[in-house]
Amino acid sequence: MSPTASIVDCLRKILPILIVFCIPLSMNFSKVAWAAPEFVIDVGDILEIQVQDEPMLTVTREVDSDGTFQLPLLQKVEAAGKTPTDLARHIEKRLVDEEYLWTPRVSVKIKERPGYVVQVHGAVGQPGMIPLQEKMRIRDALERQGGILEDHAAPEMILRGRKRPTEIRIDRHLLVSKGLAGKMLNFLLRPGDEIIVPEAGRIRLVGAVKEPADVARIARITLFDFLAQAGVQKNELTGWIVLRRENADEILVDPAAIQNNRRAEDFDLQDGDCVTVLGKGVYYLGGEVAEPGIRQWDDALTLKQILPSVASKENHDEKALELIHPSPLKTMQYPLAVIQSATAQDVFIQEGDVILIRNKSSESG
């Protein structure tokens, strides 16, 4: 027999043995990896004791201040400091040693732990505080409280607690997914943990659209996709799109970018964004003003006529006015104090213009 044939014959013999031993090993490892540690029983815990085929010994008891509880036949049973499994074996041994039962099968469960609670807040069916049960995980707590309100919840949820060094942010879609990712994110809960499911931020759509919208942002969405979902047709866009974002300068988007699907100029929307679509008969006034948004336009309208309506009248020397003509694109900047002076030349506003009052240090959008 050749050396190669000998090796092949040897492998054929040992392969079934490897399969027999490796499969149980991988199964046992899986169980160990996801096994949850048992609680140690403490004073005040409510225990549920079940003895198979013995209804008289199947009872619910509270652990007294001395760490014990009363069980029929055995009277006082020590519980504090033991795990439920340890206590079950202890009860079985006593039943045998004291000659009450030959082969008792006992199970112990911590039904309730006063002071051991978990709080569930936000976009769930029933926000509130619930008792922490043994081996309870995030999905268990959410299900007990009516589940996540899918139409109102943000994409990300938060887990925080007294015994956790930092808060943990969890993608709620991955949490409920099957497979390894869902298991890894379904953390075991600890006393005092808080599960927070934030309300979804809202995104507004106003201006030259058929129907203004105020919708919850329940998933990642870009500007282009948001306009498409809102029913805004690309060929209907005749003016600039202005994105107003809290604590930030307005962002201007050329309608040609959307019409030509230039994805490089697309970007993610954030909670609280307001998207304004400019059209015929309007202009946009924004920046550091009391009520940013679209205004009615007429062909005799000038900058000096609209400036008295700008509520931000402090520190004019530090502010600038930026005037953006959409077609053909032209941007002009004026110190606000200068344009308001009586000697300054007035400037006509064109249909679809964007006027922004900004600090002089702000960059152009």
46-112 — its CATH code?
3.30.1950.10
Tell me how far apart the alpha carbons of residues 114 and 342 are, in angstroms, rounded to a whole number.
75
Q: pLDDT in tens for each of the 365 residues of the chain?
A: 555 555 545 545 444 444 434 434 333 333 333 345 667 888 888 999 999 998 988 999 999 989 999 999 998 999 999 999 999 999 999 999 998 999 999 999 988 887 788 999 999 999 999 988 878 899 999 999 999 998 888 888 999 987 787 889 999 889 988 888 889 999 999 888 999 998 888 899 999 888 898 888 777 889 999 999 888 888 888 889 999 988 888 999 989 899 898 988 899 998 889 999 998 899 999 988 888 899 999 999 998 888 876 655 455 567 888 999 877 788 888 888 787 777 778 889 999 999 998 876 654 44
For residue 309, the model assigns a pLDDT of 67
Domain positions in the chain are: 46-112, 117-197, 201-279, 284-365
The pLDDT assigned to 148 comes to: 92
User: Which of 278, 283, 211, 192 shows the shortest CA–CA distance to 243?
Assistant: 278
Q: What is the pLDDT of residue 244?
A: 93
Q: Going along 116-222, which residue ranges are E strands?
A: 117-122, 128-131, 156-160, 168-171, 194-197, 201-207, 213-217
CA-to-CA separations, 235 to 158, 256, 360, in angstroms, rounded = 42, 10, 36
**pLDDT at residue 314, as a whole number:** 58
H-assigned helices in 99-214: 138-144, 172-175, 180-185
CA–CA gap between residue 238 and residue 151 (Å, rounded): 32
pLDDT of residue 227: 92
Nearest to 291 by CA among 312, 271, 273, 272: 312
pTM above 0.85, yes or no: no
Q: Which superfamily is assigned to 117-197 in CATH?
A: Outer membrane lipoprotein wza domain like (3.10.560.10)
Identical fold for domains 117-197 and 284-365, yes or no, is: yes
Distance between CA atoms of residues 237 and 239, nearest Å: 6
* Fold assignment, 284-365: Outer membrane lipoprotein wza fold like (3.10.560)
> What is the bridge-based pairing of β-strands 251-253 and 201-207?
unpaired
CA-based nearest residue to 217, from 204, 208, 231: 204
d(CA 269, CA 297): 28
Topology at the third CATH level for domain 201-279? Outer membrane lipoprotein wza fold like (3.10.560)
